[in-house]
Amino acid sequence: MASVLIVEDEPETRRALEAAVRAHPALSVLASVGTLAGGLRALSSGPAVVLVDLGLPDGSGEALIRAAAAAEPAPETLVITVFGDERHVMSAIEAGAAGYLLKDAEPHAIAEAILDLLAGGSPITPVIARRILKRFHQTQQRAPRPADAPHLTPREIEVLELVSRGYTNAEIADLLGMSFHTVTSHVKQIYRKLSVRSRSAAIFEATQLGLIDLHR
């Protein structure tokens, strides 16, 4: 059973998130808190997933995202917030968030998003995904790949292109005829070479560098 840390300052919303997690037999609530400080303390208990709002009374949820990304082992982080503007979205992704949902998501969608996250996916509210894609498309007009861009092997590029199309690690393993652990190893290498902490950030950085083309 995957443990979930919920960090949300609005009591009603926090209870709704707790209910959504507990309703699924594969998930459990490790802790549910309303402050950044509480979230940082609970992080030491080792949750598999962190659900975090960005607007907390004692700081930004981005601080928790960065702390989670630096933890060992690092939990998956899913943002659930009312902030849908580009600045908040890209900042959260660059901090290490692997998914981004707006608070109008249905309760059943929360559990599905968590399971998707654990399977290697990056659940993102459709309207947010469109904004990210628009940002990616704009990068296509930039200068060609710089000479000092990180070197990714042909296999890593292949894996990254499938990641950019929304495939999970398990699906990529099936498509490429390799083990799940090998795909996971490739993804970790990609993260290291691109100096990123999430799938979305890897896609964004690789697109900026001209390593992959989202139009193909």
Going residue by residue through the chain, which has 216 residues, state the pLDDT in tens, using 9 for 90 and above.
899 999 999 999 999 999 999 999 999 999 999 999 999 999 999 999 999 999 999 999 999 999 998 888 889 999 998 877 777 888 888 888 988 888 877 777 899 899 988 888 888 887 777 766 666 555 555 545 555 668 888 899 889 988 888 788 888 888 888 898 899 899 989 988 888 888 878 888 888 787 887 655
What are the extents of the domains in the chain? 2-133, 142-208
The CATH code belonging to domain 2-133 is: 3.40.50.2300
Q: How many residues does the chain have?
A: 216
pLDDT for position 62: 93
One-letter-per-residue 3-state SS of the chain: CEEEEEECCCHHHHHHHHHHHHCCCCEEEEEEECCHHHHHHHHCCCCCEEEECCEECCEEHHHHHHHHHHCCCCCEEEEEECCCCHHHHHHHHHHCCCEEEECCCCHHHHHHHHHHHHCCCCCECHHHHHHHHHHHHHHCCCCCCCCCCCCCCHHHHHHHHHHHCCCCHHHHHHHHCCCHHHHHHHHHHHHHHHCCCCHHHHHHHHHHCCCCCCCC
The phi and psi torsions of 93 (rounded to 5 degrees) equal -65, -45
Q: What is the pTM of this model?
A: 0.66
pLDDT for position 143: 47
Give residues with Cβ within 8 angstroms of 75, minimum separation 6.
5, 43, 46, 47, 48, 49, 50, 68
Q: What residues pair up with 51 in beta bridges, in sequence order?
A: 6, 78
The CATH code belonging to domain 142-208 is: 1.10.10.10
pLDDT digits (tens, 9 = 90+) for 128-150: 777 666 665 555 555 455 556 68
pLDDT digits (tens, 9 = 90+) for 27-39: 999 999 999 999 9
The whole-angstrom separation of Cα 132 and Cα 204 is 8
Q: Is residue 5 within 8 Å of 30, Cβ to Cβ?
A: yes
